Amino acid sequence: MLLNELILEFAKGNISKPDYIDRMHEIHKILFEYSKLIQETDISKIEITDDTVQMTTREHAIKFIVDKDDARIVPIEILNFGTYEKSQMDMILKLVQDGQTVMDVGGNIGWFSLTLAKLKKNLNIYAFEPIPKTFDYLTKNIELNHLGKIKCFNFGFSNFEGTIPFYYYSQGSGNASMVNVSERADVEVQECKVMLLDEFVKKNKLTVDFIKCDVEGAELFVFQGATETLQTQKPIIATEMLRKWAAKYDYHPNKIISLMSGLGYGCFTTDGQHLLPFSIMDESTVETNFLFLHKVKHRLIMDPLIFPLSAMPKSFS
């Protein structure tokens, strides 16, 4: 019996006071189970208030409001698996420099933007999240952490401009996309605006140093709409690439690698300390997070980080 049901049954007189106390005590023990659980995770604190549950990360002391319906929201992922994309973020923190301009495409609830805003000085961060409910969590988390310098926009990017259906379900907000990648029957359809990244950069007269892109399979289309920015400004790219999501859009992630190679970029994975050269994705590939650095512009950044040096493709020489 759930906690609220037990309280109701006691109020109706269906449970004796001693039995009620004993059964409630068994439920309350879960609080102490969580106090043990978080010791082995990057969550240092769980706070329960009148209408919210908040979790604070251990390493960087960033607070997140938890959506009770979302089984894959970042703080819950940390509770389940100990950390969240730590190797990728450790490397990103080496690559992003104070004072740079960063675009967070697929901002979700703000994990990427908040981490950078907390740890780097004077960044110009632009976060983009098309799903209204998720966007609301993004803005609330920014306010909660007193990091108002992050500029938020309630739209996405693609290789065209317009309004298009996005598929979203509350149990997995991070899987929202322009196709029903989850193939769930209970998915919600929401009309969301998309535009070209190139047009946004030109309109706002930005010089972009870093782009993070995680849009559940539609990454290729974001980059196709950003080719002018990539050609002229050559920002560092951090992106997710999954075969199963890309297949929903009828392409293979190697098409992104090919596109980037044609623009002068090399592809890497990371262990958090080093850049690991990566050339082609096949059925044995387990990595899902990748980095693209320009072979000329970012040479001085890459050289000290590439390991092992002998593994660097000849095309980098």
- d(CA 139, CA 150) in angstroms, rounded, equals 9
With a cut of 80, say whether residue 182 has pLDDT above it: no
Confidence of residue 194 (pLDDT cuts 50, 70, 90): very high
**Rounded-to-integer distance, Cα 47 and Cα 61, Å:** 13
Distances in Å between the Cα of 241 and the Cα atoms of 219, 220, 307 are: 8, 9, 22
Listed by start position, the domains of the chain span: 3-79, 86-316
Beta bridge partners of 190: 166
Segment 188-202 mean pLDDT: 94
Q: Is the peptide bond before 235 cis (omega within 30 degrees of 0)?
A: no
Residues 6+ apart with CB under 8 A from 136: none
DSSP state of 177: B
What are 71's two structure tokens?
Answer: 């089984």
Q: What is the pTM of this model?
A: 0.91
pLDDT recorded at residue 174:
62
Average pLDDT of the segment spanning 212-235: 96
Region 270-284: mean pLDDT is 95
Query: Using an 8 Å Cβ cutoff, are 131 and 189 in contact?
Result: no
Q: 160-164, 271-275, 286-290, 310-314 — which is least confidently predicted?
A: 310-314
DSSP track, 234-271: --EEEEE--HHHHHHTT--THHHHHHHHHTTEEEEEE-
Give the tens place of pLDDT for each residue, 250-267: 999 999 999 999 999 999
Checking if the pLDDT of 310 tops 60, the result is no
- Cβ neighbors of 223 (< 8 A, separation 6 or more) are 213, 230, 237, 239, 256, 259, 260
pLDDT-based confidence at residue 270 (cuts at 50, 70, 90): very high
* 25-83 pLDDT, tens digit each: 999 999 999 999 999 999 999 999 998 999 999 999 999 999 998 988 999 999 999 99
pLDDT in tens, 109-145: 999 999 999 999 999 999 999 999 999 999 999 999 9
The runs of H, that is alpha helices, within 263-308 are 299-302
Task: Give the pLDDT score at 281.
Answer: 96
Alpha carbon distance 156, 106 (integer Å): 7
The CATH superfamily label for domain 86-316 reads Vaccinia Virus protein VP39 (3.40.50.150)
